[in-house]
Amino acid sequence: MPDFQQPRLEGEQLEARYAFAKRVALEAAQRAMEFYTRRSSLIVEHKGSDLQDVVSIADQEVEAFIRGELARHFPDDGIVGEEGGSDGLQARCIWVIDPIDGTACFLNGLHNWCVSIGLLVDGEPLLGAVADPNHDELFHGFIGRGAFVNDTPLQAHGASHVGEGLVGVGTTHRPGHEHFLPFLHALLDGGGQFVRNGSGALMTAYVAAGRLIGYYETHLKSWDCLAGLVLVREAGGRGNDFLRGDGLLGGNPYLVAAPGVYDQLAAMIGASLDAP
């Protein structure tokens, strides 16, 4: 909770962070692209015992670049990053970053990956930037000011039934995957259809852009979606209470959707979506 004795963060301090997030996301995406063009020579490591959960020098070097920029410009801010862990979590401003979201796609030559940079202020998502260099798209948003892809405003889909569009989905080998097939079953029975593109940040941005009517992941990490949550909220979409409990560091089940189909999708998932 914010301490009411603390001074407000001035608008220009937040403005500087918004400009920073956009610039650094674009620069990081260009660096990632240089690795992508020679991906066959990258050494791939597996995280823990999960052979599908991979990381490469590209993830590590791009995150190191973002951390270096943060240390130079906002040394007192905290950070939660996929590859380098968390630091300075007592700070009011906490950056939540994923250097490459969609690493499995990246390493297999599929174009669904991006750089995701979000900012929490006093525990609330305030701004986000998601850079996709394969499609020259920078998704960005700031609470109260709207969300955009490049300069075009984003608006969530107007669907009122799941049959009216595509739902993004995803799962991992972490606990919660047992809810995946029952959800797909319910979605298909309800007349819906699904896609999985392998990047939580991009699928979230696509919900904000109205390209997907929803996106469900059985268990997601905060760096995959924090930036995107700002986009969805500003585009008129809805999301579950993803940051509850240990969401910031440990992750949670995740649903974002167009307002007219959120309740329908949440009912298909059931109680596991918001279980403590």
Q: Which does 176 bind (CB under 5 to 8 A by kind): ligand 2AM, Ca ion, none?
A: none
Q: Cβ neighbours of residue 200 under 8 Å, at least 6 residues apart? A: 101, 170, 215, 217, 220, 224, 225, 228, 254
Q: Using the rule CB under 6 A, is 90 a contact of ligand 2AM?
A: no
Nearest approach, Cβ of residue 66 and ligand 2AM (Å) = 14
Nearer Cβ to ligand 2AM, position 5 or 52? Answer: 52
> Binding site residues for Mg(2+), as ranges?
82, 98, 100-101, 224
Q: Which does 199 bind (CB under 5 to 8 A by kind): Ca ion, ligand 2AM, none?
A: ligand 2AM
φ/ψ of residue 198, rounded to 5: 90, 0
Nearer Cβ to ligand 2AM, position 35 or 74? Answer: 35
**Looking only at residues 257 through 276 of this chain, which bind ligand 2AM when binding is defined by CB under 6 A?**
none
Question: 223: burial class by Cβ within 10 Å (0-12, 13-18, 19+)?
Answer: buried
Nearest approach, Cβ of residue 67 and ligand 2AM (Å) = 16
23: nearest Cα among 135, 115, 94, 120? 115
Nearest approach, Cβ of residue 99 and Ca ion (Å) = 6
Q: Give the residue closest to ligand 2AM by C-beta.
A: 170
Q: Using CA atoms, how far apart are residues 1 and 90, in angstroms rounded to an integer?
A: 11
Q: Which does 81 bind (CB under 5 to 8 A by kind): ligand 2AM, Ca ion, none?
A: none
Q: Six-digit token pair at 171? A: 């799962």
Q: Give residue for tokens 């499609």.
A: 135
Q: Using the rule CB under 6 A, is 5 a contact of ligand 2AM?
A: no
229: nearest Cα among 253, 261, 250, 254? 254
Strands 166-170 and 214-220 turn out to be parallel
Nearest approach, Cβ of residue 207 and ligand 2AM (Å) = 13
96, 107, 140, 199: which one binds ligand 2AM (CB under 6 A): 199
273: nearest Cα among 160, 182, 158, 156? 182
Q: Using the rule CB under 6 A, is 170 a contact of ligand 2AM?
A: yes
Q: Using the rule CB under 6 A, is 52 a contact of ligand 2AM?
A: yes
Q: Using CA atoms, how far apart are residues 247 and 147, in angstroms rounded to an integer?
A: 23
Nearest approach, Cβ of residue 59 and Ca ion (Å) = 6
Using CB under 6 A, which of the segments 22-30, 135-143, 181-189, 194-202 binds ligand 2AM? 194-202
